[in-house]
Amino acid sequence: MSQRYGRSQADRGEERNSGADGAQIQLHGRLNSIREDLHGVKDAIALAVRACTLTALDLEEIGDTATVAEVDQSLRQLLDAQHQLEVEERLLTSLCSSSEHEDPESVYMKEWERDSKKYAALDEAAKYGANKEYCEFRQQVWNVKHEGETMPPLFGAGGNDSDEELTIAGARRTYKCPITTTWLVDPVTSKACKHSFSKQAITDYLRAKGGRGACPVGGCSRVLNREDLAADPALERNVARRLRQLEAEESSATYTMVQ
Ligand SMILES: [Zn+2]
């Protein structure tokens, strides 16, 4: 991919400048407006990533694995675009912060091409296996049909061996609250340790401890604050999905018995 975003505002504001300082200020103004454009595109990508995840979860539930694979491919393209934007942002920031440039455009293009080649040469495990959003997407899709089972490594053994991937790939998600031991209700997930709780239960627990306390999951050494807990709508959907599955299994069992 070689699209470049947000050139429109860069073309604005042709002003005559007074000497080198004026040119410098004008350049920085333009670079900053391009950077602001990038934020809008990044937000749009984040929304699209979220939409991909929700769509894939519904498709997985009805067993349409072919379309799930298509969504997976689309997600990878979005993550490629996201990577591009991050590179652009980094280059723009470094151009803004350095004061002397013989030719900003050629500096930019040279760096840009260098990074594009480097990224294109990476294998899938390196591109996506270490990407937190991609791993979470795969984990959630896995959870639809495999509650509580450990997800196998995404790109096989010997692919990417970063700690983060292993942690996420080996994570066991269950749909019961460790405090109430019943199904999660309004689940919230800790940003510190990724453990999830029913909102009311963890709120009561932390209140009783004066606002912060040890994570109630056995073996977890994190201390939780109320601010560490975020609503987890994807998990909530998975719980609801699991309950629907159980209900369907139960009614088909009843039907068999009646027969
Ligand atoms: Zn924990």
Q: How confident is the model at residue 17 (pLDDT cuts 50, 70, 90)?
A: very low
Provide the pLDDT confidence category of residue 165 given band limits of 50, 70 and 90. Answer: very low
The string of pLDDT tens digits covering residues 216-258 is 998 888 999 999 999 998 889 888 888 888 888 888 776 665 5
Tokens for 149, please give them.
């089972």
Going from the Cα of 251 to the center of ligand 1, the distance in angstroms, rounded, reads 36
Amino acid 112 reads W
Domain assignment of residue 185, yes or no: yes
170, pLDDT greater than 80? no
Centre of ligand 1 to C-alpha 137, Å, is: 21
* Res 14 pLDDT > 80: no
71: pLDDT strictly greater than 90: yes
188 domain-assigned: yes
In a domain, 218, yes or no: yes
User: Which pLDDT belongs to residue 79?
Assistant: 94
Would residue 212 count as lying in a domain?
yes
Instruction: Please name every residue paired with 190 in a beta bridge, in sequence order, or none if there are none.
Output: 229
SS3 content of the chain, % helix, strand, coil (to 5): 65, 5, 30
Please state the domain count of the chain: 1
In a domain, 223, yes or no: yes
Q: Is 197 helix (H, G, I), strand (E, B) or coil?
A: strand
- Say how far apart CA 158 and CA 93 lie, in whole Å: 36
| Residue 256 placed within a domain | yes
Q: Output the DSSP codes for 40-71.
A: HHHHHHHHHHHHHHHHHHHHHHTT-HHHHHHH
Question: Strand pairing of 187-190 and 223-225?
Answer: unpaired
What is the CATH classification number for the domain harbouring 251? Answer: 3.30.40.10
Least confident stretch, 7-11, 50-54, 145-149, 183-187 = 7-11
Share of the chain above pLDDT 90, in %: 36
Q: How far is the CA of 190 from the centre of ligand 1 (A)?
A: 7
Residue 160 pLDDT exceeds 50: no
Cα-to-centroid distance, 199 and ligand 1 (Å)? 14
Ligand 1 centre from 223 Cα, in Å?
A: 8
**252: which 2 tokens?**
């088909």
- The tokens for 79 are 């993550």
Domain that holds residue 197: 175-259
Q: Under a CB-based contact definition with an 8 Å cutoff, are residues 55 and 71 in contact?
A: yes
| Residue 30 pLDDT | 84
Q: How far is the centre of ligand 1, averaged over its atoms, from the C-alpha of 57 (Å)? A: 25
pTM exceeds 0.85 for this model:
no
- pLDDT tens digits for range 86-133: 999 888 888 877 766 567 788 888 888 999 999 989 988 889 988 888
154 falls within a domain: no
**Nearest in space to 202 (alpha carbons), one of 139, 166, 211:** 211
Torsional class of 123: left (φ above 0), alpha (ψ -120 to 50), beta (otherwise):
beta
| Closest to 136 in 3D by CA, of 174, 104, 165, 100 | 165
> Would you say residue 44 lies in a domain?
no
Answer for the pair 212, 224: CB distance below 8 angstroms, yes or no: yes
